[in-house]
Structure 1
Amino acid sequence: MRICYVDEAGCTGALPNPSSDVQPVFVLGGVEIPQPSIHRVTHEFLHLKKRFYPNLAPKSATYLDWILTEIKGSELRKGAADPSHRKRRHALGFLHETLSLLETEGARINGRVWIKGIGQAVNGRSIYTFSLQYICGCFNRQLEVDDEWGLLVCDSRNKALNSLASYSVFTQKFKASGDSIPRVLEMPVFGHSENHAGVQIADVICSALLFPLAVHAYCRTAVTNLHVRDYSHLRDRFTDRLGALQVRYCDPQRGGRLTGGVTVDDKIGRRPRTDMFPVPVQRGLVAA
């Protein structure tokens, strides 16, 4: 069995002009972890937090209390672009160790990246639900190949938004033509990030890696707001490793084209995902 932890980065608000402070990218990403590895991943992630950020939790905190204190991906992203070499090295070191943990435990990633068009309307509900359906489909394909079953745990937002997201998956499982994601056992469940190491790791992947890599690849020449920084340190160190963690497969319904993994919808320049992941993916490749 595998658990797919889902989190988001950015917002679904429209970007009215190039200098607006609205985030130019929205990411919804999933981190798939084998169920037997969840205990190890959780304990190792707690150790990483204590090692890299020993003053983050109160001195009275017990070992297990460290799950309640989060290292937000947005702060790691900021640290990775900081002029201070020490702060950059610290953030990059934490990201390196987090990816090493996922690689060791056989985790995989998938998701959707949306590059907002400048001055274009954005349908936030549609973007989120379509992205979640995509993650479920990609997750289901991998479960079929591995002959496994899976569940999704999403970071909770509020009851109304959670219900809409869950309903979008319900329509995929119970449509008249049949269940399109039969290996995904139930609709997504929604958890609070302070109780799930997997959700916290998904936040790190989405906010500290996928979001800035997308900004660096697609927004630098068109958007001039505070969210666009030099993220070359992240690109140089982590693009290949993230690419190798993706679930990619040949889709017979699309003429055998390679699909899955982290896909990109670029409303600014209509550029392909290879602008973000230029190195061919070597792991996670599934035959048609």
Structure 2
Amino acid sequence: MYLCYIDESGTGQTLNPAVPDSVPVLAIGGFTVPERQVGALAWDFIELKKKFRPALRKDLPLTQVVHHEVKGESLRKSFRRKGRKQQRMAHGFLTHLLRILEQRECTVLARIWVKQDGVVYDDTAMYASAVSALCADFEHYLTERSSSGIAVLDSRNPSDNSHNVHCVTTRKFSADGDQLPHLPESPVFGHSNTHLGLQIADLLVSAVLAPSAAVTYAGDLHGNVHCDPGYVPVRDRHCPQIGKLQHRYQLPGGKWSGGVVVSDGRGRKSAGKLFASPAVADGAPRAGSGRRVSPSDLATVASVPDASAPSP
């Protein structure tokens, strides 16, 4: 049995380059972990939280330590600040976290959308499309291991939750047969303050992948808080580690899939830009037309790591 924890960072709201806090990317992803490693992973993460937050080293109930979250948003603030001590602590935390994931046989998977200026996106459809794609990647991972698995999503609200998994449910109970036979149930939902796996997924997506993608693919948005220069070291230090943790595989036609997939609506750059050293954001942005864009439209620009990325 394997577990897959999934969280998101960003929104599908229209990107306005004139607004400093307009969000340029939507990242949805997380990691897989073998059931036999779940307990060890949890205790490793608890100890890491105690090391990072000295207040948690006191004689506190375990529930209080679990409930206390080190949020990806907090680490992003540390990277934007000028204090070198805070930056070093935040980088050290992520370095140790990724090392733990490697030791506990975890793999990373994600879908990232980079938005065009002024384009109206369908947030609900984007999230559902990402969940469906990630479950397909998880299914392939489970098939290779002749095992079963459960996907756990960070709970949003009842309406969003139902939309996010309905596409997976229909694939499982299709008249043409179960397309996800190694997932005995559609994704279930949890709350991050009680699920350590969801806390880790938040850190992967919110503290590493989303800011790294923003500074790589939307670096032309000068003055945008999500494209702060402080995120460049995040990408250059931690994305290569994530690159090594990807589960990637070839489809029957020879195309690579899985791992971290980027749909760059601005410059059509490959996902390999995240893993290159250094990754350079180049090319002019593509202005939007004000029309609505669906996940199927974005699929035409979905990319995979190029030759500069770690081998799958």
TM-score (ref. length: structure 2): 0.86
Give the distance between the partners of 2:94 and 2:61, measured in 1 at CA: 24
What is residue 9 of structure 1 aligned with on the other side?
9
Contact 1:26 1:113 in 2 (8 A): yes
Output aligned runs, 1:225-244, within 5 Å. Answer: 225-230=224-229, 231-244=231-244
Contact 1:19 1:223 in 2 (8 A): no
Give the distance between the partners of 1:175 and 1:248, measured in 2 at CA: 26
Contact 1:150 1:183 in 2 (8 A): yes
Give 1:100 shift.
0.7
| Amino acid paired to 1:273 | A
Give 1:163 shift.
1.1
What is residue 272 of structure 1 aligned with on the other side?
270
What is residue 284 of structure 2 aligned with on the other side?
none
Q: Deviations over 1:70-129 (max 9, x none)?
A: 010011122133211100000001101110110000000111001111100110011000
* Partner SS, residue 121 of structure 2: coil
| Amino acid paired to 1:194 | N
Give 1:222 shift.
3.6
What is residue 261 of structure 1 aligned with on the other side?
259
Give the stretch that moved more between structures: 127-136 or 232-241.
232-241
Output aligned runs, 1:63-212, within 5 Å. Answer: 63-212=62-211
Q: Deviations over 1:21-62 (max 9, x none)?
A: 22111110021011111111111111111111123x596732
What is residue 298 of structure 2 aligned with on the other side?
none
Give the distance between the partners of 1:225 and 1:232, measured in 2 at CA: 14
CA RMSD of aligned residues (A): 1.6
Give the distance between the partners of 2:132 and 2:185, measured in 1 at CA: 13
Contact 2:32 2:106 in 1 (8 A): yes
Give the distance between the partners of 1:130 and 1:172, measured in 2 at CA: 12
| Amino acid paired to 1:52 | F
Give 1:64 shift.
3.7
Give the distance between the partners of 1:17 and 1:241, measured in 2 at CA: 31
Give 1:212 shift.
1.1
Give the distance between the partners of 1:260 and 1:61, measured in 2 at CA: 40
Give the distance between the partners of 1:187 and 1:275, measured in 2 at CA: 33
Contact 2:30 2:202 in 1 (8 A): no
What is residue 301 of structure 2 aligned with on the other side?
none
Contact 1:18 1:223 in 2 (8 A): no
What is residue 250 of structure 1 aligned with on the other side?
250
Contact 1:30 1:135 in 2 (8 A): no
- Label 1:259 to 1:203 Cα distance change in 2 as closer, same or farther (>3 A): same
Alignment gaps of 5+ in structure 1: none
Contact 1:81 1:233 in 2 (8 A): no
* Partner SS, residue 227 of structure 2: coil
- Equivalent pairs, count: 280
| Amino acid paired to 1:84 | G
Identity %: 35
TM-score (ref. length: structure 1): 0.93
- Label 1:23 to 1:276 Cα distance change in 2 as closer, same or farther (>3 A): same
